[in-house]
Structure 1
Amino acid sequence: MPNTPHSAPSLWDISPPVYVGMPVFPGDTPYQQQWVASIGPGCPVNVASITSTPHAGAHADAPLHYAPDGATIGQVDLAPYLGRCRVVHAIGCGPLIEWQHIAHAMGNDLPERVLVRTYQQMPQTQWDAGLTGYAAETVERLAALGVRLIGIDTASIDPADSKALPSHQTIRRHDMRVLENLVLDAVPEGDYELIALPLKLVQADASPVRAVLRALPGTYNQATA
């Protein structure tokens, strides 16, 4: 029996857990945590110290990540990371998201934000060297439709072994923004409100985000069917 709109989730947490031992891009700085203060006699609080790549977990790349003169993540406009978005499924599409894999969801009133799910189940405990990226041509076509931010459930919008990073260079040319390492396993195709604000790290090339999707008022799509 179909769920009613009232029985569907109103908030989807699309951020993977961040923990010691979590997978990171090979060669990147792993997440580490130490306790520098612990509750006890003479100490009223617990305080941790962390060392990590800013690309840990769900994260936003800054233009500085792929352009030597690019803006840091603390300098970019926050508007692209907040607002209506469309989740599109291209599960098992292969090494690249081609236009044919997402064309079915590119209808009228396309939001400025598009997130693509490629995994049936995102691998949260191991590195995937065969991760799916975007084809640069797909990014070009999304930019032409007015898309300002693209997201993906893998660690990169380019294949892991890419040196030219054509999709990163395409978003650089179009001044687009990107979210990577999202967990979209439980999210049906449809439109949502995206909230994924990066930290104001004024010298960094990326920032972790706590990415969530919120049901849009009055929306009835596959998320509520």
Structure 2
Amino acid sequence: MSTWIDISQRLDEQVATWPGDKPFSYKVSWSKEESGSVNVGHISMSVHTGTHIDAPFHFDNEGKRVIELDLDLYIGCSRVIHLPNRTNIGVTDLANHDLQGVTRLLIRTDAWKDRSVFPETIPPIQPEIATYLSGLGIRLLGLDLPSVDPLDSKELSAHHELAVHGIHILEGLVLDGIDPGNYELAALPLPLVHADGSPVRAALKKIP
């Protein structure tokens, strides 16, 4: 029987965050000794910490917020492909992969070697990939990277082009050792009403 594989980053004080963003913290704010019955903790973090989804509001003031997103985007059949040793990812990198019938595409790049350290560079997505993926019917793009755009980008061209073509973004996956193929994906965001993103617990189960 296939089992679920956790492809999420662990959330503790060692998780890498965007430079200048809120660091992760978990603390017990009400201990069992104080309450007489339970430990109660609280967390402090950016919604873009670790494995997370971007809502369009993240880069567009008129874009949808997390609560407005279609849950079907984040659960169902997906395809994992492996594109190592790239400086960027464009249409030519996908041309040799059969993506017909794929709704959720996950790209393993192996470019983020140490997830306790925020990377200096990544292989970004070329914006024109959005038209290509949309033509195939892909609605969710996931990567083992903290962004689909260059880390120093202010224009966020890939974010915007993907949104224009109705493709949503899942970032910060842990795809080390995940073989290319078809999987069931579960990566549901929290029901955050006003948020521009959400952490997710992402998992895959191999489809025989």
Distance 1:188-1:79 versus aligned 2 partners, 3 A rule? same
The RMSD of aligned alpha carbons is 1.5
By how many angstroms is 1:121 displaced?
6.1
For 2:78, the equivalent position in structure 1 comes to 85
Once residues 195 and 110 of structure 1 are traced to their aligned partners in structure 2, the CA distance between those partners, rounded to angstroms, is 18
For 2:108, the equivalent position in structure 1 comes to 117
Q: 1:17-56 residue pairs with structure 2 within 5 A?
A: 17-40=10-33, 42-56=35-49
Once residues 167 and 123 of structure 1 are traced to their aligned partners in structure 2, the CA distance between those partners, rounded to angstroms, is 24
Which of 76, 89, 92 is the aligned partner of 2:69? Answer: 76
- For 1:47, the aligned partner's letter is V
Q: Is the Cα–Cα contact under 8 Å of residues 192 and 215 in structure 1 kept in the other structure?
A: yes
By how many angstroms is 1:41 displaced?
6.2
Distance 1:71-1:43 versus aligned 2 partners, 3 A rule? same
For 2:53, the equivalent position in structure 1 comes to 60
Which of 91, 97, 100 is the aligned partner of 1:99? Answer: 91
Once residues 127 and 144 of structure 2 are traced to their aligned partners in structure 1, the CA distance between those partners, rounded to angstroms, is 17
Please give the secondary structure, in 2, of the residue aligned with 1:171: helix
The one-character-per-residue Cα deviations of 1:23-78 (angstroms, maximum 9, x if unpaired) are 11112111112211112265211111111100111101001001111111111111
Does residue 156 (structure 1) correspond to residue 147 (structure 2)? The answer is yes
Please give the secondary structure, in 1, of the residue aligned with 2:94: helix
> Runs of 5+ in structure 1 lacking a partner?
1-5, 220-225
TM-score by length of 1: 0.87
By how many angstroms is 1:120 displaced?
6.0
For 1:3, the equivalent position in structure 2 comes to none
Please give the secondary structure, in 1, of the residue aligned with 2:67: helix
By how many angstroms is 1:150 displaced?
0.2
- For 2:190, the aligned partner's letter is L
Q: Percent identity?
A: 36
Moved more, 121-130 or 50-59: 121-130
Q: Is the Cα–Cα contact under 8 Å of residues 112 and 145 in structure 2 kept in the other structure?
A: no
Please give the secondary structure, in 1, of the residue aligned with 2:64: coil
Q: Is the Cα–Cα contact under 8 Å of residues 154 and 180 in structure 1 kept in the other structure?
A: yes
The one-character-per-residue Cα deviations of 1:75-133 (angstroms, maximum 9, x if unpaired) are 11111101111101111111x112222222234x3311101011166421111020222
Alignment coverage as a number of residue pairs: 208
Once residues 34 and 13 of structure 2 are traced to their aligned partners in structure 1, the CA distance between those partners, rounded to angstroms, is 28
Q: 1:177-196 residue pairs with structure 2 within 5 A?
A: 177-196=168-187
Moved more, 73-82 or 40-49: 40-49
By how many angstroms is 1:144 displaced?
1.3
Q: Is the Cα–Cα contact under 8 Å of residues 122 and 183 in structure 1 kept in the other structure?
A: no
By how many angstroms is 1:139 displaced?
2.3
For 1:172, the equivalent position in structure 2 comes to 163
List, as ranges, runs of 4+ consecutive aligned residues in structure 1 with deviation greater than 6 Å. Answer: none
Distance 1:122-1:191 versus aligned 2 partners, 3 A rule? farther
Once residues 49 and 214 of structure 1 are traced to their aligned partners in structure 2, the CA distance between those partners, rounded to angstroms, is 31
Once residues 184 and 36 of structure 2 are traced to their aligned partners in structure 1, the CA distance between those partners, rounded to angstroms, is 42
Moved more, 148-157 or 134-143: 134-143
Q: Is the Cα–Cα contact under 8 Å of residues 150 and 178 in structure 1 kept in the other structure?
A: yes
For 1:213, the equivalent position in structure 2 comes to 204
Please give the secondary structure, in 1, of the residue aligned with 2:26: strand
